[in-house]
Amino acid sequence: MAGFSALRGQGHWPTLLAAFLYFDFSFMVWTMLGPLSSEIAESLAVGGFIMSESQTATLLSIPVLAGAILRIVLGFGVDKFGAKKTALASQLLVIAVLFYAYFRGANISYDELLVVAMGLGFAGASFAVALPQAGQWYPPKLQGVVLGIAGAGNIGVVIDFLFAPKIAELWGWESVFLVGAVLSSIIFVTYMFMAKDAPPEVYTPRVKKLRDYGKLLQDRDTWWFNLFYAISFGGFVGFAGYMKVYLMNTYQADMSAFGLEVLDEANVKVVAGYFGALCIFAGAILRPVGGAVADRLGGVKSLYIFFGLVFALILLSALVALPFGFAILVLFLIMANLGMANGAVFQLVPQRFGKDIGIMTGLIGAGGGLGGTLLINILGWSKETFGGYTAGFLIFGGLVAVALLGISLVKTRWRTTWGVNAGGRI
């Protein structure tokens, strides 16, 4: 698309690449409990602790919830201390948590895992650093594609699902934390040398005070963007975090389809990771495409399309007993459209809140994290209460419908007020 070619000669590509790598590997770390959920549950069971569906959902949702809250904290750090210093401090904390989980290994308790999960939230909060750092270097008309590229770092969760179950099968689940710690250390050094904060002539940050947070929270557009991102990113990260649990609970008997010849339970977990990675890959890789589409068609029209397709596919999943192969296709398309919707939302945000992009990325990112936390717990509640996921899918479908209604309510006002001088298509 034209948006990608227009990046030539613009901005600072080493920072854009560094932001992508930082977010990519941070996202990998943030979501690693999801593909390890079965292995961790078995390890705890050996010690006499049997996780319920709700306890599993709680463990998987804690990093998402912590990441949501910490995005506000790191967003403030970006404006006050600069993106690079904030990122380096956050990465050090994450590396320490990963090494702790590795050395505790099979002796770790459920309560300790909850603390580890909270520490992993700093990795999820990287969103509030990587996106504004990349976006500060580029003009408004390129924000969709630039933030889409930086945000495509959420492909890290695909790496989790591809490799974490196999590493756990070969060397134990705790070894995945060691691999994560080593890779995060390498990215830490790489980021230190590649990334640069935008100079004053390109972007001048305005240090925020607590009253600035209050002022932005009084702006109704802040809440609309939080709603839209709670659906798009919340849906993506929620389904990603719960994907393996969902596939194991719903389609474990069908994992031998397509000639995969699953022979034992360990192989089933690995294959579930592969199918999960396939679905999650769609949303991760297509985020910049969604941003580029929004640059061309406008963010509002793009969100209509992406959310509309998600709504139809969610209803199909909830109301029809889909065979395994078709269910994977539907999940693939749901994740693809959620990923593109992520890019579309952040094509609009910098145009509306350009001077407050650091803090707004944190606030809106927090909304996305809260949406993901809610979705994981809804799915866990649905399974534990009704023995299936129909109720959970219907609730999420209802929330998507609310988002579609919200777009209808704000589109005219946006296009006739701040959209007139935004610098990009609304």
Under 8 Å between Cβ of 227 and 406: yes
Both tokens of 196, joined, read 């640069």
Consecutive H or E run containing 378: helix 357-386
Tell me the angle at which helices 83-104 and 13-30 cross, rounded to the nearest 10 degrees.
30
Q: Is the pLDDT of residue 340 over 80?
A: yes
- CB-side neighbour CA atoms (13 Å) of 411: 14
Mean pLDDT of 346-371: 84
pLDDT on residue 263: 47
Higher pLDDT, 39 or 8: 39
What gap in Å lies between CA 140 and CA 153, rounded to an integer?
Answer: 21
For the whole model, what pTM was predicted?
0.85
> Which tens digit of pLDDT belongs to each residue from 208-256?
677 777 888 899 999 999 999 999 999 999 999 899 899 988 888 776 5
pLDDT on residue 2: 45
pLDDT on residue 365: 81
What gap in Å lies between CA 78 and CA 207, rounded to an integer?
Answer: 9
What gap in Å lies between CA 308 and CA 303, rounded to an integer?
Answer: 8
Nearest to 26 by CA among 97, 80, 75: 97
What gap in Å lies between CA 190 and CA 171, rounded to an integer?
Answer: 27
pLDDT on residue 190: 93
Q: Is the pLDDT of residue 302 over 80?
A: yes
Residue type, 363: L
Q: What percent of the chain has pLDDT over 90?
A: 48
Residue with tokens 């699953």: 262
Q: Is the pLDDT of residue 269 over 50?
A: yes
pLDDT on residue 204: 64
DSSP labels, 89-122: HHHHHHHHHHHHHHHHGGG--HHHHHHHHHHHHH
Mean pLDDT of 252-269: 60
What does the domain layout of the chain look like in residue ranges? Answer: 10-198+216-420
pLDDT on residue 7: 64
> Which tens digit of pLDDT belongs to each residue from 18-57?
888 898 899 899 989 989 988 999 999 988 899 999 999 9
**pLDDT bracket for residue 257 (50, 70, 90):** low
pLDDT on residue 378: 97
DSSP labels, 226-250: HHHHHHHHHHHHHHHHHHHHHHHHH
What gap in Å lies between CA 292 and CA 413, rounded to an integer?
Answer: 23
Q: Is the pLDDT of residue 140 over 90?
A: no
Cβ neighbours of residue 253 under 8 Å, at least 6 residues apart? none
Q: Is the pLDDT of residue 401 over 80?
A: yes
- Across 13-17, 325-329, 356-360, the highest mean pLDDT is recorded for 325-329
Nearest to 41 by CA among 29, 54, 31, 26: 54
pLDDT on residue 149: 76
Tell me the angle at which helices 220-251 and 37-46 cross, rounded to the nearest 10 degrees.
60
Any idea which of 192-196, 263-267, 419-423 has the lowest mean pLDDT?
Answer: 263-267
Both tokens of 143, joined, read 């924000």
Q: Please give the angle made by the CA atoms of 424, 425 and 426, to the nearest 5 degrees.
A: 115
What gap in Å lies between CA 280 and CA 62, rounded to an integer?
Answer: 20
Any idea which of 29-33, 333-337, 357-361, 370-374 has the lowest mean pLDDT?
Answer: 357-361
Under 8 Å between Cβ of 157 and 273: no
pLDDT on residue 255: 64
Average pLDDT over the chain reads 87
SS3 of 423, please? coil
Both tokens of 45, joined, read 């069971």
**pLDDT bracket for residue 259 (50, 70, 90):** very low
pLDDT on residue 19: 87
Per CATH, the homologous superfamily of domain 10-198+216-420 is MFS general substrate transporter like domains (1.20.1250.20)
> Which tens digit of pLDDT belongs to each residue from 155-197?
788 888 888 888 998 899 999 999 999 999 999 999 999 988 8
How many angstroms from the chain centroid is the CA of residue 373?
11
Under 8 Å between Cβ of 371 and 234: yes
pLDDT on residue 398: 97
Q: Is the pLDDT of residue 400 over 70?
A: yes
